[in-house]
Amino acid sequence: MSIQPVHIVGGGLAGSEAAWQVAQAGVPVVLHEMRPVRKTDAHQTEGLAELVCSNSFRADDWTGNAVGLLHAEMRKLGSIIMACGDAHQVPAGGALAVDRDGFSQAVTAKLEAHPLVTIVREEIAGLPPADWDNVIVATGPLTSPALSEAILQLTGEGELAFFDAIAPIVNFDSIDMSVCWRQSRYDKAGPAGETAAYINCPMDKGQYEAFIDALLAGPKSEFKDWEHVPYFDGCLPIEVMAERGRETLRHGPMKPVGLTNAHKPDEKPYAVVQLRQDNALGTLWNMVGFQTKLKHGAQTEIFRTIPGLEKAVFARLGGLHRNTFLNSPKLLDTQLRMKNQPRLRFAGQVTGVEGYVESAAVGLLAGRFAAAERLGRPIDPPPATTALGALIGHITGGHLDAGRGSFQPMNINYGLLPPLETAGAKRREDGSRIGAKERGRNKKLAMGERALADLDRWAAGAAALAAE
């Protein structure tokens, strides 16, 4: 008896990961991607899992960072996104950043080569056909208008959108390295041991104040139909941050801490703009935290006032795109199925997670849930003590409903995981006191160790069930 396929709509990070997990479980999968038949405002290529914003998967250290823990959990479960990310890594201090083109090409090639994966280039303009009984919708922030409208009708919700913004990318050869210098914050070593993964552009107080004035005065893109839609605080445009206070940027992406100007070591910068390597060749560098809705002409003019970028050549200017997400705690069950139409699962940013890795993680789980259901051996979500389980818990039941619009996209963080059963020791065996910072590090390590051990037990149980 042949196994009917699982259908996946959307070939981004979540859809690609879901397709891989379904196929690896021995279940056929049809992956529907609308590009190039229908293009989007943000995508540049036809590749699967294209990175449209930053090229960073953020911190990679599972012992002290929640997103690093999520990385480790996904690696344990055979994630295609993490495998291809590791294979196409570029220097980024303690973060995992990738060559975006090499990464996308690798994911596309692996899925194209899998014997159980069929890729169909077409737009699903509305709800999937009724005879598709096991579907994952992973259309992400750039869901087509027709599908968005269909989902709106199905959910009965009034809104599905907020704004998200894209940071500019600069050609390395156009950066003045007699003004800028290479250094990671606090000289922190990355996975490959590098301590100079960022290019730093220093500003004195006068330059910073003039920059803020220019941001506030510069012409912005306007999207009148969406003006009521809120921004996500984790990806605010820089001019919106500037509007919230003149010092906001200096305490955010432009903070000068942990950096010493190699050209003028005795002068402390008032603010610093950081650039992070964007491709394997090191020819492209993105402006960290510089998502913007400034019009393109204004971007070029204003960003060239940054010391060291006076002659900057931009491979891509910043932009703004619509993001789409569900009121998941109300609409989805713990298997990521729509409560009023359980043949439909949702994955990725549309579920209310924020970030590349988080989106892929939800795709990973949706794929496993869908495959297990197709094989007649449903599995429970991972324990809440894991980063994966904590994400599922938040989007399907962990949110405290404070009324309309209270559910917001969430990055993985330790606050989503249950506290440790026992508090960490405050004193060493010799009686000396353990400082608060060290206790904090010990707590994160203990939570990571607990998560990975619990995930191993969950995965072993799921594997045993699948083998029955």
Query: Using 50, 70 and 90 to split pLDDT, how confident is the model at 79?
Result: very high
Region 453-460 average pLDDT? 96
* pLDDT 10s digits, 217-244: 998 876 544 445 566 666 678 998 999 9
Give the pLDDT confidence score for residue 141 in this predicted structure. 65
* pLDDT 10s digits, 318-364: 877 666 788 888 899 999 999 999 999 999 988 988 889 999 999 99
* pLDDT 10s digits, 274-293: 999 887 778 889 999 898 88
CA distances from 255 to 45, 132, 259 (A): 34, 51, 9
Region 4-20 average pLDDT? 96
Taking 80 as the threshold, does the pLDDT of residue 162 lie above it?
Answer: no
Give the pLDDT confidence score for residue 108 in this predicted structure. 97
- Hey, where are the domains in the chain? 6-160+325-416, 165-322
Query: Using 50, 70 and 90 to split pLDDT, how confident is the model at 53?
Result: confident
* pLDDT 10s digits, 294-315: 998 999 999 999 999 999 999 8
Region 446-463 average pLDDT? 94
Give the pLDDT confidence score for residue 445 in this predicted structure. 95
Give the pLDDT confidence score for residue 163 in this predicted structure. 58
CATH architecture of 165-322: Beta Barrel (2.40)
| CATH superfamily, domain at 6-160+325-416 | FAD/NAD(P)-binding domain (3.50.50.60)
* pLDDT 10s digits, 417-442: 888 887 777 778 787 888 888 888 99
* pLDDT 10s digits, 100-122: 999 999 999 999 999 999 999 98
Give the pLDDT confidence score for residue 226 in this predicted structure. 42
Two domains, one topology: 6-160+325-416 and 165-322 = no
pLDDT above 90 covers a percentage of the chain that reads 56
Taking 90 as the threshold, does the pLDDT of residue 65 lie above it?
Answer: yes
Taking 90 as the threshold, does the pLDDT of residue 8 lie above it?
Answer: yes
Region 398-421 average pLDDT? 76
Region 15-23 average pLDDT? 98
Neighbours of 109 (CB within 10 A): 13
Taking 90 as the threshold, does the pLDDT of residue 397 lie above it?
Answer: no
Give the pLDDT confidence score for residue 410 in this predicted structure. 78
Taking 90 as the threshold, does the pLDDT of residue 211 lie above it?
Answer: yes
Question: Is 180 in contact with 172 (CB distance < 8 Å)?
Answer: no
Rounded Cα distance, 90 and 338, in Å: 38
Give the pLDDT confidence score for residue 152 in this predicted structure. 82
Query: Using 50, 70 and 90 to split pLDDT, how confident is the model at 43?
Result: low
Region 377-405 average pLDDT? 85
